[in-house]
Each structure stands twice: as structure tokens, then as C-alpha cells.
Amino acid sequence: MTLIEGMRGHLEKARTAADEEFGWRRPWSGSTAREGVWSNIRSAEVILLQLVSDVEAAGRASEVMALVKRHLDIDDPRRVRLAQRIRPIISGDMKPGDRDLMTRALDAAYNALDDELARVRSLRNILWTATFLVLLGVTGLALYGWFSPGSLSLCFTPQNGPEAADRITVVCPTAEHHGVPAGTDSSRLAQPRDILTVEIAGLAGAALTVIASLRRIRGTDAPYMLPLASAVLKFPTGALTAFLGLLLIRGAFVPGLSDLDSRTQVLGWAAVFGAAQYLVTRLVDDRAQMTLSEVGRPTDAVVDPERVAVKEVLPAPAAGSPNGAGPHDEQDGGAHGKGDDGEPAPDGAPAHRRSGA
């Protein structure tokens, strides 16, 4: 397959992915197809760089360098070598290996971008799966409580004064029963709607935390609605924490709150426990924001013997400049000097890139 045929193949895949009709599957598959479109277009751009003239390749050198600096680590050998050659390339002093160096660096940068987007997609899928599983569990609890209300009773028996020693009050999430004979099992007075009512109150509490978390959400150009997935997870989690919180209170796990006095208190505590899910889901929010921030902003690589060796052979900054860095060189020594033996990269086709569809 020639380079031109390969480029046409990538463009055809991009066109097919862009024209595909997903129907009801668009919320799940539309963003993946969009990523496939751009991935194939980027692959075609890498091949195009091999086909253009030296003048056109030199004209794209600054753009390639910008992409490389955005997506490759500061001590990546391809980034180091391209930074070493960028000024001669821009000035028109193209050597035989410079085009191959630019091609491989651009291909590596696009591969890194694909990996960054893949991490966003993976976390998005994990969050939607977790939301579905928690929602399934909450729905199961509501159905179980509907058909067997006494098994998961959330009714409380407040302490009565001495004047009513033979009568008690039973407080449930949907009703209050006064003057009940002492010794009556409160579970027998549980209603089918009790657990569902508690979960709705928990949803209301979770909604407040979602509104409060909007101030921390930033927009993103990634084709995945990761902040939305993180926000939706809070609703079923709030319903679950509301039920578990009241269950712990009824089991006297919370000192001083073993007996709630009114239905309003029961629902109020359910809303509080629903909002308390933020203590757990905020960790998910932080992970989501960190994943989004990693797209297009690579951090310094961890200590790696091979990359450390690349940095150690870099020459000292040239005289005549505070740090010896030119307008297209790195400021920390990772983008000037020779990355290895100083010889241009051998001619050859770029590494095969993934082309999502």
C-alpha cells in the first residue's frame, strides 16, 4: 500500500464515522465516533507530512513542534532531537533525516493524544457503569421494601414520658403512629413507601451537592462528557447513603440519634445523609478533573534510566543567552542539544498509529 492509498484509507474511515447514524445509541457511541474521525484525520496528516515538499514541511515545523511540546514528555528523545533541529529546519536548512524526525515526532504526539483521550473515555465508562450499578441497587432496595416493608423497617420509637408508659409513638418515614400499645413491634407498622420516600429525600440532598459542585466544573474540548457522568453518579449514591444512614441510626450506631421524634426529622436526616455522599464522590470529581487536565498538558516523566541518560548527554547552554535557549528550544535543557549521538534519524515510515473508528 502506497502512502497516498494509506492517506485515502484514513480519510475514508473518517468520512464513514462522521456520516454514521447512531439513532438511540448516539449518547453512548456518538463521542466515540467523533474521536475516531479525528484520529483518522490525524493519521492522514502524518502521512501528508511525508508527501509535501521540503518548503511546505519546513513551514509546518513550528506547528509540529508546538504539538510535540504539548503532548510529549519534556525528556522524550524525539522531542529533544526535534528541538535541537527546529531552528535549522525553519530557516530552510533541511537535512535528509529531518523530515523523518518531524514525522516520527508528530506521530508520537498524536499517539500520546489518543492515549490521553482513551483515559478520559475509560473513566467516563467506569463512572456510567458505577452509576448504573448503584441505581440498580437503590431500585432493588425500594422494591424489596415495597413488598416486604417490615424486613428493612426504618421506623423509630421515641422515648415517652412516665404519663404514657403504656403507650408509645412509632415514627416512620411516611407516617406517625400515636398511642400504640407498648410492646408493639415497630416493624409491623412500616409502610411499603418508606424506603422509596427516604431515597427521594436522599436524592434531594444529593441535588444540592451537585449544584454546589458546578462551580468547580470546567469546560473541556474532549469528546466525552466526563463532568456530567461524575455529577449523575451523585444522585443514586445520595439515595443509597440516605437509606444506609437511617439504618445506622435505627441500629444505634450513632450515639444520641437512636430515636428520632418525628417524621420530619426522619426525612431531614435522610436529606443530610444524601448530601453526605459528597464526602465520597468528591474524590471521583477530583479524579475526573485531573484526568481532563492531563489532556494536552503532560507532566514530567517519572525517573527512567533511559530518559535520564538522554538528559545527561545534553551539552551545556550556548554563550550569549541567559540559558542558551532559542525561541523554539526548551527552557530546562530538555529541548536543546543532541538527544543521542547527534546524527539525524534514519529515513523510514512513521510508527503505525491507532485509527479509532
Please report the pLDDT score of residue 121 as a whole number. 85
pLDDT tens track for 13-35: 878 877 776 655 555 555 677 77
Residue 20: is it exposed, middle or buried by C-beta count within 10 angstroms (0-12/13-18/19+)?
A: middle
Residue 303 has pLDDT above 70, yes or no: no
Please report the pLDDT score of residue 296 as a whole number. 58
User: In 3D, which of 347, 357, 356 has the Cα closest to residue 98?
Assistant: 347
Joined together, the cell numbers standing for residue 20 give: 454514521
> What kind and span of H or E run contains 293?
helix 278-293
Identity of the residue numbered 2: T
Q: How far apart are the C-alpha atoms of 174 and 190, rounded to whole Å?
A: 9
Which string of DSSP letters, residue by residue, matches 130-189?
HHHHHHHHHHHHHHHHHH-TTTT---B-PPPPGGGTTEEEEE-SS-EEEEEETT--GGGG
Q: How far apart are the C-alpha atoms of 73 and 159, rounded to whole Å?
A: 66
pLDDT tens track for 98-135: 889 999 999 999 998 888 888 888 888 899 999 999 99
pLDDT tens track for 54-101: 888 888 899 999 999 988 888 888 999 999 888 988 888 888 888 899
pLDDT tens track for 260-302: 888 898 999 999 999 999 888 888 888 887 877 777 554 444 3
